[in-house]
Amino acid sequence: MKTSDQIDQIAKAMSIAQGEMKPASKSSENPFFRSKYSNLAQVWDSIRDPLSKNGLCVFQDVLSIATGISISTRVCHASGQWIEFGPMEIPVSKKDAQSVGSATSYGKRYAICAALGVVSDEEGDDDGEAAMGRQESIPKNGNKPKKEEPVTHQATCISPDQVRTISDLINKCDDGYVSKLSKHLLDLGYPTYAQIPVDMYAQILTGINKNIELVEKRRKENV
C-alpha cells in the first residue's frame, strides 16, 4: 500500500464514509457455483453516495501482464491526499476479449471491496468464470442446460484437509519445484490450492512426495 505524505484528512473521511456504507446487494447468479453474488454495479451502488458526500473518489488502473491482468486502486480525497492499493494480479486462462473482460470486472470488484471494506459475498461478477475458462456451455438456442445434464468442465474442488496436506508438504519441497508447480496450476486456471479439482489431487500429491524424496536424498548425500 502506498499513500500521500499526509493521510489525516482522507483517513477521517474514509472512517465516516465506511460508517455510511450499506452491504452490497446480491442478485446476480454465478453459473458455476449456482450461488448469488454482488456484481460490480451493485458494489458501486453501495459506496457511491458515502464516497461523494465525504469528498472521496476511486480510480482503478488495469494493465495487461504475462499471466493475466493487474489492477491498482487509488482512493483520493478532495484535499489531495490519497491511498493506493495493489497491484492485484488476476490470472486469465486465455486472453480473448470475454476472458479479459470477465477478469477485469472480477478484479475491480475484489480490489475496491478490499480497499474500502465493502461487505459483500465471496463471489465476484461472474466470479471470473470466463477468465478461469470453465463457463457453462450454453446451447445456440440460448437455453441453459437442464440441471440433470452434466456441465463438462464443472469439477469438485479438493477439501480443506487436502489443501492443508498440500500446504504442509510443499514446505518440504525445493524452491524450483514449488515455482514450477505454482506456474503449472496457474496455467490451468487454479491460482490457489483450494481451486484444484479433486481428480488432480493424487497426481499432485505424487509429484510433491517424489520431490520431497529427492530433497531428502540430496540432503543425505551432502551430510
Q: What is the pLDDT of residues 22-59, one digit of tens each?
A: 877 655 544 444 445 567 788 888 889 999 999 999 99
Statement to judge: residues 31 and 91 lie in one domain: yes
pLDDT on residue 168: 84
Same domain, yes or no: 108 and 16: yes
Where do we find the cell 502506498?
Answer: 2
pTM listed for this prediction: 0.51
Total domains in the chain come to 2
| 18, 62, 155, 156, 158 from 199: Cα distances, Å | 43, 34, 8, 8, 8
Q: Which domain holds residue 13?
A: 2-132
Q: Are residues 25 and 118 in the same domain?
A: yes
Looking at the fold, whether 8 and 111 belong to one and the same domain comes out as yes
CA-wise closest residue to 124 among 18, 23, 21, 28: 28
